[in-house]
A and B are shown apart, each in its own frame.
Chain A
């Protein structure tokens, strides 16, 4: 199918009518000249009329074709042609998979080096007329000319972020969508089976992959630190391994700079290690494997909060609260005391739930105001909604709730929402619940998430802490209200509470609110990166229709020719030149004849 690089230029085809229009316009009534030798003219025209008419028609045709050829050349027509030496101006997206798995070392060098070399060769085939983009694991399409993108390739390193290949192809499709030039995608990847996902590929796709199999690999897929906070007596971490190797491997874990504890574990198995007690505070737990061909997934970090359990005063009349607190107290997660008051407004930290009797709501609001709390209870809503999943609470049904209204005073923050509106909020030392913790208000007390919620509520939220989140670099992590800074070692990022933060690197990131550390994010590799086994070609073709899977070294030969379209501008310009010269010759010959 013929295509055009600048299809709007086809409007110029109307200019092809100019010679014909001129011809028609010139046919107006001519002036009369008295000329005695008209008989000679009649003789002349009788003899030459047919030849001259033919010549004029030929000239008209030449001129029209000349205009058409020039206009078509301006529109940049292209045709699918096989085996052409050059290629039509194309739009090419080069997707280079520099995800952590590309750091696997084979024959003494990282696989990324081969990918980069193949990428350079692909770019080497581009021409200045091509539109080029580079997409890497950071998911950001970069446009540039051949040299610019080559420089970017030279500076490219292994990214800690996973690259979902289907997402990358979809992104490339979006990039190419507005392009008039014929589009093409080249994906250079280790083609991990775990990175594959479906994608609609509307343009030719060349997939360059390694021919040799990946090295065997084991990585730490998960590090679980259990309920927080830990007591000063220490705690346990659970480690889960992932990878392609079946052999048992030694692993170790340490908290802070305390001596490491070691164990032996297999892929898919869980190793639990008891870590020694440490003083109160925020601590980093690091787990480690013996090095293998992919070093990046041999380490993993976690963050634990070490603190005494909360001392709580609760109202025994509230059946569900009392039952939960009794269980937490019996398991050592809380103790009786006056540090946190649960259920009503009191001195110190308080977790307030709305009164059962609406008549007492006004007095409560006045007390809240008197305490300087920046929130008050508003109208009662009885339409059922669900809480919005977050680090504090999962998805729970809420039957009745009071609207929590900000009065705009004090340091406030929303900790959980239901139906998009605040449901659990903080103002200083006071936490306000939108619903009473009873089944007639919310199904939370009778759900499995109630005990973890109460643990977090009393041990962390009521004490000013917010969250312990985990994620991979690049993943979006919700930043709780009041957080102003994210810190990793010496590096700091200014953030806005309630927004999104994407860890750029591996390791522990601490959330700072004012002078207090209120949470942490553990950024580790996506565990899927540890499984290096490539997807079979059949699966790739099934997911991405018409994908041409070639060895990495052959990708440069397939690129552009996969969607190669012969550029017809050159032939058209030659044709126009030929037509112009023919027209000139014909017109000159006619003039000579005259």
Chain B
């Protein structure tokens, strides 16, 4: 497993990663939310890099109407290139022949709980030199998500678990609460097994009224039990978001001519020729993801598959996307 970065490592001023996205002619500092997560991790510890990611993410949001689940309409402003057409006010366009977009403002406080899987399987990466372990990626993603929520003055809490619940941080809306959350994230260590249900049920104790639950896991667990707990949360009126963290190397099967593949948690093993089974494995993964997606949709749970090479900004957009309107 890749070692965690130091919490206080400063961002190298003016550092521009080779693969950094920057529009032509643009002189603004690079947006960390659009960088390769592995490159971002090389810039510093969770705290610092997360702030950079969030800044970049929010900057991107300012260029377009705010999107989120806790905002209401506030005012209009002139359309700028890059704005989403969904927020164009067509009535004004019809009357004045001018393009205006609607802007939103924050709603009342939201209570959110992030449930993070820290089992041994989360500590795995298929390419230690180029890809973060799933857990490291999850830590940074959760940190960024929490910072965004806290800046919106949404109370945010954290539960970590492996084969049992390891940490429970109740939701608080103070920005300083983020430091405590970061502290827990940085101190996380990969456990052994995975038991998501108890952790998800602990959410109920922390969220007395309806709120947001973000479940971050590689979903290598007992699906039925996990779904049962997620359905329970949904039944309690919470919005539930499942972020399925996957390593790109988990999507395809590769390796030597023949290999013994061993599960780091259960020690279960299977001997096979990757070349013979790659196609079938790919199909199986696609099926499993499809089943998760279908099961979640059926119960009003938002499911997003996030690979560890996905820039944080993109993952955050997925996580913070507005819920689908239900009839």
Contacts and interface: CB of A to CB of B under 8 A. Distances in A.
Interface in B12-35: none
Contact of A37 (B220, B256, B272, B276): B220
Interface residues of B, number: 36
A389 interface: no
A40 B288 contact: yes
Nearest to B260: A32
Interface of B: 120-121, 124, 218, 220, 247, 250, 253, 255-266, 268-272, 275-281, 283-285, 288
Interface in A126-173: none
A54 to B, nearest CB: 12
Interface string A28-67: 0111111111111111110110001000100000000000
Given A37-B220, A47-B284, A594 B278 contact: yes
A33 B218 contact: no
B262 to A, nearest CB: 5
A154 B270 CA distance: 79
B277 A52 contact: yes
Given A48-B277, A52-B277, A594-B276, A38 B270 contact: yes
A589 to B, nearest CB: 10
Interface of A: 26, 29-45, 47-48, 52, 56, 590-594
Contact of B124 (A36, A39, A590): A36
B278 to A, nearest CB: 4
Given A39-B268, A42-B268, A43-B284, A34 B262 contact: yes
A38 B124 CA distance: 13
Given A34-B124, A37-B220, A44-B281, 15 more contacts: A30-B257, A30-B271, A33-B260, A34-B262, A36-B120, A36-B265, A38-B269, A38-B270, A41-B277, A43-B284, A44-B283, A44-B284, A45-B270, A52-B277, A52-B280
A41 B256 contact: no
B258 A36 contact: no
Contacts of A38: 261-263, 266, 268-270
A40 B262 contact: no
Contacts of A592: 279
A34 B271 CA distance: 12
Nearest to B221: A39
A41 B272 contact: yes
Given A42-B270, A43-B284, A45-B272, A35 B277 contact: no
B48 to A, nearest CB: 29
A39 B250 CA distance: 11
B270 A41 contact: yes
A29 B269 CA distance: 13
A31 B274 CA distance: 12
A32 B281 contact: no
Contacts of A26: 257-258
A34 to B, nearest CB: 5
B272 A32 contact: no
A30 to B, nearest CB: 4
Given A30-B258, A30-B260, A44-B284, A36 B121 contact: yes
A442 B260 CA distance: 102
Contacts of B124: 34-36
B259 A594 contact: no
A30 B265 CA distance: 20
A30 B270 CA distance: 11
B262 A35 contact: yes
A37 B265 CA distance: 10
A296 to B, nearest CB: 82
A165 to B, nearest CB: 69
A31 B258 CA distance: 8
A593 B282 CA distance: 10
A41 B281 CA distance: 6
27 contacts: A29-B260, A31-B260, A33-B255, A33-B259, A33-B262, A34-B262, A36-B121, A36-B218, A36-B247, A37-B220, A37-B285, A38-B270, A39-B268, A40-B285, A41-B272, A41-B277, A41-B284, A43-B284, A43-B288, A44-B281, A45-B277, A45-B280, A47-B284, A52-B276, A594-B276, A594-B278, A594-B279
A294 B262 CA distance: 100
A42 B272 CA distance: 10
B276 A32 contact: no
B280 to A, nearest CB: 5
Contacts of B260: 29-33
B127 to A, nearest CB: 13
Contacts of B263: 35-36, 38-39
B153 to A, nearest CB: 37
Nearest to A30: B258
B254 to A, nearest CB: 10
Nearest to A36: B121
B124 to A, nearest CB: 5
Contacts of A47: 280, 284
A594 B284 contact: no
A39 B220 contact: yes
A52 B281 CA distance: 13
Chain A to chain B: the 8 pairs with minimum beta-carbon distance, closest first = A594-B279, A36-B121, A38-B263, A594-B278, A30-B258, A44-B284, A35-B261, A593-B279
